[in-house]
Amino acid sequence: MIAETASQIALPGELESPRAKLVYLFLSMNGTVTITELQDSLDMKKISLYSVLKCLEKQDLISKDGDSYALA
């Protein structure tokens, strides 16, 4: 099985923010991850990530289970 690349993943139309798109793509390619893994991999501050994750969760695009996030 060939892994999907970022160019093969369809982004939801409601994603306008470049940061939200980046986080969504990362989750789609890496499955369930923690905020620390997102911070280290994307070189983003946690405060920014929490804001993006909250918006994605509000749009029912991701789910949170404890300290982990994944696509819904």
Q: Does the pLDDT at position 69 exceed 50?
A: yes
Is residue 51 domain-resident? Answer: yes
Q: Does the pLDDT at position 39 exceed 80?
A: yes
Is residue 8 domain-resident? Answer: no
Sign of CA dihedral 32, 36, 37, 41: positive
**C-beta separation of 46 from 33 below 8 A:** no
pLDDT at position 1 is 43
Q: Supply the range of the domain harboring residue 23.
A: 16-71
Q: What is the mean pLDDT of residues 20-39?
A: 96
Question: Amino acid identity, residue 51?
Answer: S
DSSP 30: H
Q: What is the mean pLDDT of residues 45-53?
A: 97
Is residue 9 domain-resident? Answer: no
Number of domains in the chain: 1
φ/ψ of 63, rounded to 5, equals: -130, 150
Count Cβ atoms below 10 Å from residue 20 Cβ, excluding itself. 21
pLDDT above 90: percentage of residues in the chain? 81
Is residue 46 domain-resident? Answer: yes
**C-beta separation of 42 from 22 below 8 A:** yes
Q: For position 53, which CATH number holds?
A: 1.10.10.10
